[in-house]
Amino acid sequence: MALNRPMKIVTLGDSNVGKTALLLRFVKKTFYDDIPITIVDILQTQMNIENKKVDLFLWDTGGQERFKSLISNYFRLADGALLVYDVTRISTFAELPGWLSLLRAVNDKASVVIVGNKIDEADLKNVTLTAVKDFAAWHRLDFVEASAKTGENVEEIFQLLTKKILKSISLTSSDEADNSEDTEMEKSDFQQDDTELKLLPSNSMHEVPSRKKRCC
């Protein structure tokens, strides 16, 4: 099914797992070593999905505990979410259920892909494939292990997630056609969201100064 509006994707997961790096790899095709801590940031790009150009709004949220109440506001209208952990830090994997609950508390429809980032650090990897497979199967989610640094599997993450989003939209489209009131509501929600998007200074909120290398 064709999508005639932008697709909105959010990132979530602990700080330092590489959410921003993954988005920058996908959009700018580059890896940055020293990225400022994110509060909320927006990137926009286009992607060819089923032979049609679709606009993607990528809402990058900060993983620091103190931003949780702020960023959950951005989850509500997401079509899809990247639930990211760092394969070298098991604590970031252990936090995934909490992040998923935060998303599901405000959005039970968004398609979700779990991303285990930093697989280039093979020697430091301490989240096993079995662990993530079990977690993903339990929650009926797909997962990808990737590296923003080398670019491995980054394109695949977005292919997988956007296909899942389209599939879920096409499954619910008949319901929407049957309920024009709901559809109008969703349209105005989205327009409101567009306005919100334009109001953000330079589309971004970062914390300055930037963090140096990984802290822990």
**Per CB under 6 A, 37 contacts ligand GTP:** yes
Binding segment for Mg ion among 35-43, 100-108, 110-118, 140-148 (CB under 5 A)? 35-43
Cβ-Cβ contacts under 8 Å for 93 (sequence gap 6 or more): 85, 86, 87, 116, 127, 131, 132, 135
Question: Per rule CB under 6 A, is residue 20 in the interface with ligand GTP?
Answer: yes
By CB under 5 A, the count of residues binding Mg ion is 3
- Using rule CB under 6 A, residue 18 touches ligand GTP: yes
116 binds ligand GTP (CB under 6 A): no
* Exposure b/e, 74-112, CB count within 10 A at least 16 = b: bbebbbbbbbbbbbbbeebbebbeebbebbeeebeebbb
147 binds ligand GTP (CB under 6 A): yes
Interface with Mg ion (CB under 5 A): 19-20, 38
Interface with ligand GTP (CB under 6 A): 15-21, 33, 35, 37-38, 62-64, 117-118, 120-121, 147-149, 213-214
